[in-house]
A and B are shown apart, each in its own frame.
Chain A
Amino acid sequence: MKDNRNQPFNQQYELKNAPPSAELENTPDGGEEYSLNDDRRVKVLSPGAMVAKRFFRNRIAVLGLVILSFMFLFSFVGGLIMPYAEDQLFYRTEYQNKEYAGVVKNDELRFETADGQSFDSAAQAYTVLALQQNKDSFEFLGVEYKIVTEGEDLYRITDAAGTTLGIAFKDVVASSVEGQNISFDLRLSALKASANGDASFTVDGVSYELDENGVLTSGGDEIAFISRYVVNPIMSDVFLSRDFKEQLIVSLEEGHDAFKFTDADGTESEYKINYRADVKTWSVMKATETRTYDTYASPNRKHWLGTDRNGMDMLTRLMYGGRVSLLIGFIVELIASVLGMIMGGVAGYFGKWVDNLIMRIVDIFYCIPSLPIIIILGAAMDALSVPPKLRMIYLMLILGFLGWPSMARLIRGQILSLREQEFMVATEAGGINVSRRIFKHLVPNVIPQMIVSVSMGIGSTIITEATLSFLGLGVKFPFASWGNIINDVNNTYVLTNFWFIWIPAGLLILLTVLAFNLIGDGLRDAFDPKMKR
């Protein structure tokens, strides 16, 4: 296996398969046959082309290449094509029925005391009693009260001298203007007009008009609304307009259980009416729109892979996550292989005590438990709350710095054996200077091994990064990485119910790492055909 590596810069010849039937192909146009030892019978391939040819003949390696190309397109081009940004949040609107108003049909007498008079609740109770017995006067605590019927369900209570003490009524005068008080006199007059069917009346020199719907106006301005129903908002800061009440009451009387109403701002809402027999009230529910983060949405046309726990598009996150994961893999391996090449090269070329020293350093690094160290550093960075971007850079540096020893060992071994080969002796004999010998003759011969090792190294770096991010110690939000996307599976509910959160990311990691390993294998076989027996 070493013979081949010795002379990769010699041109390699491959005899064209020339079975007798193919003989004709080897003849030039003139029909004249080449002699057997004619150079033109031989197709010349450069070493690179030979490697490529062997590589592409390996179907599994090509499969790896295809998967990897897909991953690169997916993460680097996909992110550009997707209409969504990496950390774009999505919302959904939810309809919730909230209690909006309560409606009571007023079947009991209500009382109002005239200004400056006393008409307490005991007297009110006697009034009810007297009315039930159809009496027009009663006595209470030695005081005589008279009841004057002003209209249907409207009574005025006076004392013996005829002074109005209060009124008893069933229809309710509800103010149409927020914060406006309706005076006793106005109420009495309005109720009287309503009971008697009068269209207008005057109180304190102001004239009021009353239409058949019970709307009380003065000079065109709406003042109040008379109705048998009492409508109260549930929330104290809500003012119910007269239009709303009117429409509500119409719906109530017609027995609908839902209606639509457009308020003054022009927003239409839907209301539901429930009659609660136990308390004899209608409760009105308003369907309110609430905007929430669209979390854990199942795959749909807008989000092909659904959304994650923050309401971000899963597919987009996967694309950006792929960028981060692949980039970290490449940068870490770049750091590791540059360091490894320098240290291994120096050790291998100079040998003796330099080699001994560097190899002992490599031994020491080999011994350091890298995953626990990274976990500790990650936890320390958590405690110091390092910003996510800086953290990502630290992560790459740490992983790269812990990764160089294996590369150094590989390169040193290669260079040690290459150094003793005849072609190196030849370069020395030929008087080529040291740097040229190293970089022109030694390094290129090491590169195939390096590429194989880097290819596999990227795969394992991606797994390490994903594992760290999965544990919450690697790449942090808002950056996506395949590992921290799966992180959510720690939540058992997600594990059980939302496959689309973690299965795609896991498959992407699996496929990418597999592809790197397949390519590494294929390249090794291609660089070193004797390995493939």
Chain B
Amino acid sequence: MYKYIIKRIFYAVIILFFVMLIIYTIMRCLPTSYIESIAHSKSMQPNSKSFEEWMEQLTATYNMDKGIIAGYFVWLGQFFSLNFGDSWFFTVPVIDKFRDTIWLSFAMGAAAMFLELIIAIPLGIIAATKQYSRTDYTISIIALAGISLPTFFLASLLKLIFSVKLGWFDLFGLTGRNFAQLSAWGQFLDKAHHLVLPILTITIISIGSLMRYTRTNMLEVLNADYIRTARAKGVSERKVVYRHAFRNTLIPLVTIVGGSLPGLFSGALITETLYSIPGIGYTSYQAMVSGDIPFSMFYLTFISIMTLLGTLISDILYAVVDPRVRLS
């Protein structure tokens, strides 16, 4: 078991090494005029350094004077000594901006995930137990529609209904107009109020796949021999479904949910951007479209690490949770 985990971690580190190499290479291979144009626009700003100085700084920061491989190792060294550089767009150290935004994204993601779990799993199970019934078709179609909905369209619809027509929520932003005058509790409520629509959006978009996953797994389990045995023994249907089958359905669910936990930190890039919620997603979107290379590189690496961590957790959980899986 430990051997397996160590092996997986070793693989993950190697993969991360190459992923970071690719990220670095992409950033390096952006046409040089791109960096020049950034240096140019930077030098155009009032009280800024001259174009040559900016070019020099950029070249030095990104080790453009060295070859790709050598430059990569220097960057890698900087990254792991937690020196992430300064964000161009926000003009603060990358790590500060990251600290400011990450918890908001995590809170949003966690709330959405909680809602997803309590809605999707029961519905998936109901759909599976009543296969081919009208309920099953309805749930399946709703799940598919959720998957097929583009985020921006759903967000626009929600805004039109809840913000414009009903006037319950603001269209954009995290805080209301009189945020500064509110007490601490009031400020919390105000933020929560502004997060309702974004969380709803994330939930609706991602609920479908979990629902379908639950349904498929439940169907597989319901067709297993031990379920037939349980039924043959005369165990009540209720007990069959919620004791015997449900526990076994939980195995893949736990692995997939565990695997998506690190993803909560990655933020919902599109949703946050649509609602102008200053989480990590919106922040990095701003950084990326304005060519803020230090922040973008940090964000890309961060996301890659989270993805790797997710796979790692779900693989390990799979081995831990399911007693049938025996690792060599």
Interface residues of A (CB under 8 A from B): 60, 360, 363-364, 366-369, 371-373, 375-380, 382-384, 459, 463, 466-467, 470-471, 473, 483, 486, 489, 492, 495-496, 499, 502, 506, 509-510, 513-514, 517-518, 521, 533
Chain B residues packing against A (C-beta within 8 Å): 11, 14-16, 18-19, 22-23, 26, 30-31, 33-34, 37-38, 131, 137, 140-141, 144-145, 147-153, 156-157, 159-160, 164, 171, 219, 223, 266, 269-270, 273, 284-285, 288-291, 296, 299-300, 303-304, 307-308, 311
- Interface pairs (6), CB distance under 8 Å: A60-B137, A375-B289, A376-B26, A486-B153, A489-B152, A510-B150
Do B307 and A496 have beta carbons less than 8 Å apart? no
Verify B269–A372 contact, CB threshold 8 A.
yes
Residue of B nearest to A533 (CB): B223
Is A506 a contact of B157 with CB atoms below 8 Å?
A: yes
For residue B302, which residue of chain A has the nearest CB? A369
In the bound complex, how far is the Cα of B77 from the Cα of A189, in angstroms? 102
Given the complex, which residues of A lie within 8 Å of B270, measured CB to CB? 371, 467, 471
CB distance from B54 to the nearest CB of A (A): 15
Q: A467-B152, A492-B171, A495-B156 are in contact. Are A383 and B304 (CB under 8 A)?
A: no
**Interchain CA distance A466-B137 in the complex, whole Å:** 28
Which B residues lie within 8 Å of A459 (CB)? 148
Contacts of A367 on B, CB cut-off 8 Å?
A: 15-16, 19, 304, 307-308
Q: In the complex, which residues of chain B have a beta carbon less than 8 angstroms from the beta carbon of A368? A: 19, 22-23, 304
Contact (Cβ within 8 A) B141 A60: yes
Contact B15 A364 (CB under 8 A): yes
Contact assessment for B156 and A506 in the assembled complex, using a CB-CB cutoff below 8 Å: yes
Nearest Cβ distance between residue B287 and chain A, in whole angstroms? 9
The A contact surface, by secondary structure, is: helix
Nearest residue in B to A502 (C-beta to C-beta)? B156
| Listed residue (B148, B266, B284) with the most chain A CB atoms within 10 angstroms of its CB | B148
Expressed in whole angstroms, the minimum distance between the Cβ of B36 and any Cβ of chain A is 10
The total of Cβ contacts below 8 Å across the A-B interface reads 126
Q: A366-B311, A368-B304 are in contact. List 11 more A-B contacts (CB 8 A).
A: A60-B140, A366-B307, A367-B16, A367-B304, A368-B19, A376-B288, A384-B37, A463-B148, A471-B273, A495-B159, A510-B145
Point out the residues of chain B lying under 8 angstroms from A378, CB to CB.
289
Given A375-B288, A514-B144, A517-B147, are A506 and B153 also a contact pair (CB < 8 Å)?
A: yes
Whether B149 lies near A372 (C-beta < 8 A) is: no
Known A368-B19, A380-B31, A380-B291: A495·B160 in contact at CB below 8 Å? yes
Choose one: B31, B147, B164; the contact of A384 (CB below 8 Å). Answer: B31
Task: Tell me whether A506 and B150 are in contact in the complex, defined as CB-CB below 8 angstroms, given that A363-B15, A364-B22 are known contacts.
Answer: yes
Q: Please tell me which one of the listed residues A364, A384, A473 contacts residue B18 in the complex, with CB atoms under 8 A apart.
A: A364
User: B310: nearest residue on chain A (CB-CB)?
Assistant: A367
Instruction: List the B side residues contacting A514 at CB < 8 Å.
Output: 144-145, 148
| Listed residue (B15, B33, B151) with the most chain A CB atoms within 10 angstroms of its CB | B15
Judging by beta carbons under 8 Å apart, are B153 and A510 in contact? yes
* Distance in Å: Cβ of A188 to nearest Cβ of chain B: 68
Q: How far is the CA of A489 from the CA of B300 in the complex (A)?
A: 29
Which residues of chain A have C-beta atoms less than 8 A from B304's C-beta? 367-369
Cβ distance A236 to chain B, nearest Cβ, rounded Å: 42
In whole angstroms, what is the CA distance A506 to B147 when docked?
Answer: 14
Most buried by A among B23, B38, B152, B156: B152
Which of B31, B34, B299 is the one whose CB lies under 8 Å from A372?
B299
B11 proximity list for chain A (CB < 8 A):
360, 363
Which single residue of chain A is at the shortest CB-CB distance from B30? A380
Task: State whether A364 touches B152 (Cβ < 8 A).
Answer: no
Contacts of A509 in B (CB 8 A): 150, 153
CB-defined contacts of B31 to chain A, threshold 8 Å: 380, 384
Tell me the bound Cα distance from A391 to B129 in angstroms: 49
Q: In whole Å, how far is A476's beta carbon from the nearest beta carbon of chain B?
A: 14
Most chain B CB inside 10 Å of its own CB: which residue of A371, A372, A470, A489: A372
Residues of B within 8 A of A466 (CB): 150, 152
Which one, A360, A369, A467, A499, contacts B150 given CB within 8 A?
A467
Which residues of the other chain, B, contact A369 by a CB distance below 8 angstroms?
266, 300, 303-304, 307
Which residue of chain B lies nearest to A371 when distances are taken between CB atoms in the complex?
B269
Contact partners of B22 in chain A: CB under 8 A: 364, 368
Q: Kindly name the residue among B37, B137, B285, B289 whose own CB sees the greatest number of chain A CB atoms within 10 A.
A: B289
Q: Which of A363, A372, A383 is close to B284, meaning CB atoms less than 8 Å apart? A: A372
Given the known inter-chain contacts A506-B153, A510-B150, A521-B144, please indicate yes or no for A495 contacting B289, CB distance below 8 A: no
Q: B289 contacts which of A473, A502, A518 (Cβ < 8 Å)?
A: A473
Report the Cα distance A492→B276, complex, angstroms. 13
Whole-angstrom distance between the Cβ of A461 and the nearest chain B Cβ: 12
CB-CB nearest 6 A-B residue pairs: A506-B153, A513-B148, A514-B148, A369-B303, A379-B289, A367-B19
A8 to B155, CA, bound (A): 45
In the complex formed, the residue of B with least CB distance to A472 is B289
Complex interface: chain A residues within 8 A of B285 (CB): 375
Please name all residues of chain B whose beta carbon is closer than 8 Å to the beta carbon of A376 when the two chains form the complex: 26, 30, 288, 296
Q: Complex: how many Å from CA A517 to CA B285?
A: 29
With A466-B150, A486-B156, A495-B159 known as contacts, the answer to whether A379 contacts B19 (CB < 8 A) is: no
Q: B149 contacts which chain A residues (CB < 8 A)? A: 510
Given A367-B19, A471-B273, A496:B290 Cβ within 8 A: no
Q: Which of A60, A372, A486, A495 contacts B288 (CB 8 A)?
A: A372
B164 touches A496 (CB 8 A): yes
A367 to B304, CA, bound (A): 5
Say how far B110's CB is from chain A's closest CB, in angstroms.
20
A463 near B150: Cβ-Cβ < 8 Å: yes
Chain B nearest CB, measured from A472 CB (Å): 9
Whole-angstrom distance between the alpha carbons of A68 and B23 in the complex? 38
C-alpha spacing A367/B21, complex, angstroms: 12
CA separation between A473 and B269, bound complex, in Å? 14
B300 partner, pick from A372, A382, A471, A499, beta carbons under 8 A: A372
A499 contact set on B, CB distance < 8 A: 160
Cross-chain contact A384 with B157 (CB below 8 angstroms): no
Instruction: Report the bound CA distance from A60 to B147 in whole Å.
Output: 16
B10 to chain A, nearest CB (A): 12
CB distance from A532 to the nearest CB of B (A): 9
The smallest beta-carbon distance between A247 and chain B, in angstroms, is: 52
Q: Please give, as numbers and ranges, the residues of chain A lying within 8 Å of B15 by CB-CB distance.
A: 360, 363-364, 367
Known A368-B19, A471-B273; contact A373-B156, beta-carbon cutoff 8 A: no
B130 CB to nearest chain A CB (Å): 13
Whole-angstrom CA separation of A366 from B16 in the bound complex: 11
In the complex, residue of chain B having the shortest beta-carbon distance to the beta carbon of A511: B148
